Structure 1
Amino acid sequence: MNTPGTDMRNVILLAALLLAGCTITKNPEVVGGNKLTGMVRLGFNDPALFNAKADPYLAQGTATRQCQEWGFATAENYGQPIKTCSVISGTQCLNESVILEYQCRGFAVPQNAGW
């Protein structure tokens, strides 16, 4: 026999389990970098109960555009994502900040170089 509220608890538990497996795609934005060393940092947030992933093509394109603004030809992924808990409640991390690093490579030849 179900007690009052048991059905609601089951629904909430089921919803939490379903959300825990959700993967969402994020479009990381430039959050920093260093023109001198050619290092671009992209970032996005990963909320609790979600599994956020960056779209690798969008991230590569964003990093390459930043590198090209600095005079480089392209960007290559550098290292592993850096994850830092940005919102904590008790012992639970409610939001992770994810940083992706890219190394600028090569030199872009300006179109008006007169070659």
Structure 2
Amino acid sequence: MKMKTTIMLGAVAILTACASPKKLVATGGSRADGTVKMSYEYGLFETPQVNTLQGAATAKQRCAAWGYKEAEPFGGATKKCINSSSSGCNRWMVTIEYQCTGTPIASR
């Protein structure tokens, strides 16, 4: 009986720790500074698989709406705990900041 319980717990742990596709979404930024913040969230037993090409394309679209030509990541990411319990953090938000590049078109 004990062996069966151990196997079941192991199977649950493996299934919940599977790769989890994540989409970067715009969560902030500044038109004046030409920056866009793109973020995704993941939980304790998730292994996030992030589509960085999708994130860069979305940041570029946001920059284009502001009159810039391109968007480039600053490099690196910030990871912030957004849900903690007595045993520690169990949900994080990861943010990548992009710089809009190219001379912006003047507002009319």
TM-score in terms of structure 2 length:
0.86
Which residue is equivalent to 2:54? Answer: 58
Match of 2:35 among 31, 35, 39: 39
Query: Mind listing any 5+ residue stretches in structure 2 that lack a counterpart?
Result: none
State the alpha-carbon separation in 1 of the partners of residues 104 and 31 from structure 2: 14
State the alpha-carbon separation in 2 of the partners of residues 46 and 91 from structure 1: 17
Of structures 1 and 2, the larger Rg is shown by 1
Structure 1 vs Structure 2 CA RMSD: 1.9
State the alpha-carbon separation in 2 of the partners of residues 26 and 55 from structure 1: 7
Aligned-pair identity (%): 26
Alignment length (residue pairs): 106
Partner-residue secondary structure (3-state), 2:33: coil
Match of 2:12 among 15, 18, 23: 15
Query: Mind listing any 5+ residue stretches in structure 1 that lack a counterpart?
Result: 110-115
Question: Which consecutive segments of 4 or more residues in structure 1 shift more than 6 A?
Answer: none
Q: Is 1:49–2:34 an aligned residue pair? A: no
TM-score in terms of structure 1 length:
0.81
Partner-residue secondary structure (3-state), 2:76: coil
| Structure 2 letter corresponding to 1:30 | A
